[in-house]
Structure 1
Amino acid sequence: MTIGIIGGGILGLTLGYHLSQAGNTVTIVEKEDKLGGLAGYIDMDGITVDKYYHGILTSDNALLQLIDELGISSKLKFKKTKMAFFHKGQTFPMTTIRDFMHFSPLTFIDRCRLGYTVVYSLLIRNWHRLEQVSVKKWLTKLSGYNAYEGIWEPLLKVKFDGDFGKIPATYIWSRVRRMASTYDRKLPKADMAYLVGGTKTLIDGLVRAIKRNGGEIYLKTPVEKVETVHGEIILRTRKGGLRFDKVISTVPIPCFLEFLPPLDGYSQALKKMPYLHLVCLVLKLKEPLSDYYFYHIADDDVPFTTVVETTNLIDPQYLKGYHIVYLPKYVKEGSPFFSMPDHEIYGDFISHLRRMFPDFRESSVEAKVVLREKYVEPVHTIGLEDSVLGISTPIDGLYMANTSQVYPSLVNCESVVAFARRVAEEIG
């Protein structure tokens, strides 16, 4: 069977790998000049780094299995990381239970209620009952108003660009369960892992396997239209028509709609799904900022969502001794921040970085880049449960498999890889 895959991100590549392993003839069509999508990579003055931060949890079984199947497990390195909480101008360690119990912005009772929220989330199996409950109502009930106002609300504001009123409790449920899953008795000294060479190592491994299985990959080939002729699906591109028995689109819904024929009710159902865009400042530094990998930020004055210093996970020796920092900001569709000039974003972010890290000196910045990405994260809201559609479409042989369908899981490499395997089993 011939199968065309639209989109060369991790989802499309993993699908291509599994389907070609099953004996299908696979062709991946990617509009950009590089593969990987959000999990792609960039060059920063002589070193290759991930476009965006991608840590591997020790509990990411689907991703670790894929890495093993591709024969690149020797590139895996494990490490114990440290987290921090930035709250109203102060940094608090937040790695251990002891750190949590000494978190002074909350009273002892508030800390206990916050801990209860985590434990209660882990005990819930039927997440469907959380879909009609707002995250604010659920967290206020479990954690209390003080913990909600001081901790949860600032985190939700910065994640959803201030608009989280209709976010269901499933969001926190998924987030808590994923982070708690890192506890592993077999690896007591490690909670995360990385691939030497970054996501490029994973992408290269997938490409090798697909080509070994007889698959093809076309770069700089945007799909302009999808047609059906005599039971075949035809992708119209600048290079001509590509014919397949089946086609799977892995691109975000708004991109899918650009080449999808009008399908009335189906198209309208797809249009209901809102998305968050992403603006991210990536810094290549001569000196480290801190010894924390990840900062949770509960401070309304800070414009970025978090600070991720990936070289507190990745050994700097693999990056010529430099330190890599990501400052992401999620914005709603139509936000003026998305089109703000690079120099303004850099100036704004750096001024707040100095506030968080008084010892930081701008002279440490060896290189910088502002990255922008549309349709990074689908936003599932109360009342839109039916917008999570299955992979089949009204067009026989055309399938849709994208990150909006990994719900209630969070969008990350683990959930995407696991989803790709399920889709491949269903289709081919």
Structure 2
Amino acid sequence: MQIAILGGGFTGLTAAYDLARHGVEVTLFEGAPYVGGLAAGFKAPHWDWPVEHFYHHIFEGDTDIRALADEIGFGKKVFFRNPITAQWYNGRAWPLDGGNPLEAALNVLRFPAMPLPDRLRYGLGLAYLKYGTNDWRALEQMTAAEWAQRVLGRRAYEQAIKPLLEGKFGPYAAEVNLAWLWARFKARSFRLGYFEGGFQAFANALADAARVAGATIHTNTPVTHIQRLPEGRWRVRTAGGEAAFDRVLAAVPPSVLVHIAPDLPSAYLAHVQALKSLGAIVMVVALQHPLTPNLYWVNLDKREFPMLALVEHTNYIEPTHYGGDHLVYLGDYLVPDHPYFEYDTEALFEVYEAALYRFNREYSPDWVRNVWLFKARYAQPVPPVGHSAHIPSIRTPLEGLYFASMSHVYPWDRGTNYAVRLGRQVAHMILGDTMENRQHSANVVPL
């Protein structure tokens, strides 16, 4: 059995590893010069560790990625810490979590944007989402905005939930279902996890484990077209040539699948094209000095700031790993045709830099050592009401072609843990289909 996997993110890498371990001949094609997808990193010459293009961490409950790390001998390089997450309000950052549930609850109660009764109501509502229910299918039948206004109260919605939804989903904020909000709080833990050497080190280790199991991995090799051949196999074409495979797993964004697989039935393609999503723009700024007072993550209101979040990575991971640089992410989710996607680094930094003075009055442009800009037009799927019924099936209508994207991790939000889970799910599905086909062929009696 020969299988082509398109995409070297964590879904594609995990599927390649699992399939190769089961004796499948796997060839993975990745268009970028590195593996890791949206969790991949970059490294300045004077750094010991790379840092992610788009900020990443895992939660203590992310059992899939932690189990995989253990399996490939990388588990001891996972560590957890308690960085501080805050909400910007009235000119300062207010911590909203802590090292334990009690500390987090007290910080919520201290948050002055809402009167005390509203803060209590808000805390109880979030506690219900995190601890009180697992029935996400019922939750997806209403919008998060509708539920938050009714259950958490108008003030809590305006001060906490509405900025979150509008910042994350822009024009689709009012459409997002409650299951997304449930999953966001359900998955969170007070401690956040990271890998020695960053997520790139783990992606590289997983790719190496897949190679040891027998997989072949080609980077710098985007697939331009796939086509089902008359005998049932699949032709996969790249700039360097073409080859035939028995199965194809497309672990790619929906727009890429539509482009490279035009032979899919129009109804299925329309289903894929109907998926809504936002892109991500993230700027990484290397500073000579820390910007915030030991804050890791600061949620921002886009009615007040030109970005959604400020993440000071080196208040979580020591700056010694980055040559003493203090690394700050300035991140945002935007519709794919937003003008910022056309801005170069200098132009967008000019937009963002004015905000830096608000976090530290001593900030000066001469603090800046370097600036990098990263863009992804597909980064955040939008889950409307009843979304589970509208996700395209992983098994496409064309036999032997499978499609796995971030939309398929629903009801969970995008993240490396669920990408790993999806990769294992699809690998299991492909192996099961293969065994079923072999058994069927063995039972056919020739005329």
Is this a same-fold pair by TM over 0.5?
yes
Whether 2:155 is the aligned partner of 1:146: answer yes
What residue is the counterpart of 2:123 in the other structure?
A: 115
Distance in 1 of aligned mates of 2:266 and 2:113: 52
Distance in 1 of aligned mates of 2:226 and 2:320: 47
What residue is the counterpart of 1:176 in the other structure?
A: 185
What residue is the counterpart of 1:101 in the other structure?
A: 109
SS in 1 for 2:321: helix
Does the Cα contact within 8 Å between 1:196 and 1:318 map onto a contact in 2? no
CA deviation after TM superposition for structure 1 residue 8, in Å: 0.9
CA deviation after TM superposition for structure 1 residue 299, in Å: 5.4
Distance in 2 of aligned mates of 1:61 and 1:177: 14
Does the Cα contact within 8 Å between 1:86 and 1:299 map onto a contact in 2? no
Distance in 2 of aligned mates of 1:98 and 1:382: 33
What residue is the counterpart of 2:429 in the other structure?
A: 426
What residue is the counterpart of 1:226 in the other structure?
A: 226
What residue is the counterpart of 2:438 in the other structure?
A: none
What residue is the counterpart of 1:34 in the other structure?
A: 34
Q: Which amino acid aligns with 1:8?
A: G
Does the Cα contact within 8 Å between 1:194 and 1:313 map onto a contact in 2? no
Whether 2:15 is the aligned partner of 1:23: answer no
SS in 2 for 1:164: helix
Q: Which string of whole-angstrom CA distances, capped at 9 and with x for unpartnered residues, describes residues 117-151 of structure 1?
A: 11221312211112231211110011100111122
CA deviation after TM superposition for structure 1 residue 70, in Å: 1.3
SS in 2 for 1:298: coil
Does the Cα contact within 8 Å between 2:314 and 2:326 map onto a contact in 1? yes
Does the Cα contact within 8 Å between 2:140 and 2:387 map onto a contact in 1? no
What residue is the counterpart of 1:186 in the other structure?
A: none
What residue is the counterpart of 2:363 in the other structure?
A: 360
Q: Which amino acid aligns with 1:414?
A: N
Distance in 1 of aligned mates of 2:143 and 2:55: 29
What residue is the counterpart of 1:198 in the other structure?
A: 198
Distance in 2 of aligned mates of 1:22 and 1:45: 39
What residue is the counterpart of 2:309 in the other structure?
A: 306
Between 1:347-356 and 1:294-303, the stretch displaced more is 294-303
Whether 2:331 is the aligned partner of 1:328: answer yes
What residue is the counterpart of 2:64 in the other structure?
A: 62
What residue is the counterpart of 2:89 in the other structure?
A: 87
Distance in 1 of aligned mates of 2:156 and 2:395: 43
Does the Cα contact within 8 Å between 1:43 and 1:49 map onto a contact in 2? yes
CA deviation after TM superposition for structure 1 residue 383, in Å: 5.4
SS in 1 for 2:197: coil
What residue is the counterpart of 1:315 in the other structure?
A: 318
What residue is the counterpart of 2:174 in the other structure?
A: 165
Distance in 1 of aligned mates of 2:257 and 2:89: 40
Q: Which string of whole-angstrom CA distances, capped at 9 and with x for unpartnered residues, describes residues 256-275 of structure 1?
A: 11011331111111110011
Does the Cα contact within 8 Å between 1:40 and 1:50 map onto a contact in 2? yes
Does the Cα contact within 8 Å between 1:270 and 1:387 map onto a contact in 2? no
TM-score by length of 2: 0.90
CA deviation after TM superposition for structure 1 residue 51, in Å: 1.1
Alignment root-mean-square deviation, CA: 1.5
Aligned residues: 419
Does the Cα contact within 8 Å between 1:89 and 1:299 map onto a contact in 2? no
Distance in 2 of aligned mates of 1:299 and 1:97: 25
What residue is the counterpart of 1:240 in the other structure?
A: 241
Distance in 2 of aligned mates of 1:299 and 1:105: 16
Whether 2:54 is the aligned partner of 1:52: answer yes
What residue is the counterpart of 1:187 in the other structure?
A: none
* 1:342 paired residue among 335, 345, 350: 345
**Where in structure 2 are there 5+ consecutive unaligned residues?**
98-103, 432-447
Does the Cα contact within 8 Å between 1:32 and 1:221 map onto a contact in 2? yes
Q: Which amino acid aligns with 1:125?
A: N
Q: Which string of whole-angstrom CA distances, capped at 9 and with x for unpartnered residues, describes residues 165-185 of structure 1?
A: 211111211111112xx25xx
* 1:293 paired residue among 288, 292, 296: 296
Distance in 2 of aligned mates of 1:133 and 1:17: 38
* 2:271 paired residue among 269, 272, 285: 269
Distance in 2 of aligned mates of 1:173 and 1:56: 17
Does the Cα contact within 8 Å between 1:284 and 1:323 map onto a contact in 2? yes
CA deviation after TM superposition for structure 1 residue 15, in Å: 1.1
Q: Which string of whole-angstrom CA distances, capped at 9 and with x for unpartnered residues, describes residues 249-308 of structure 1?
A: 000101111011331111111110011011111011222122011112235111111111
CA deviation after TM superposition for structure 1 residue 384, in Å: 4.6
Distance in 1 of aligned mates of 2:396 and 2:325: 47
Does the Cα contact within 8 Å between 1:17 and 1:210 map onto a contact in 2? yes
Does the Cα contact within 8 Å between 1:276 and 1:378 map onto a contact in 2? yes
Distance in 1 of aligned mates of 2:361 and 2:35: 38
SS in 2 for 1:161: helix
Does the Cα contact within 8 Å between 1:272 and 1:384 map onto a contact in 2? no
Q: Which amino acid aligns with 1:147?
A: A
**Where in structure 1 are there 5+ consecutive unaligned residues?**
184-190
Distance in 2 of aligned mates of 1:52 and 1:299: 19
Does the Cα contact within 8 Å between 1:150 and 1:298 map onto a contact in 2? no
Distance in 2 of aligned mates of 1:174 and 1:219: 33
Distance in 1 of aligned mates of 2:107 and 2:362: 23
CA deviation after TM superposition for structure 1 residue 75, in Å: 2.0
Q: Which amino acid aligns with 1:157?
A: E
Q: Which amino acid aligns with 2:257?
A: F
Q: Which string of whole-angstrom CA distances, capped at 9 and with x for unpartnered residues, describes residues 359-379 of structure 1?
A: 323222111111111111111
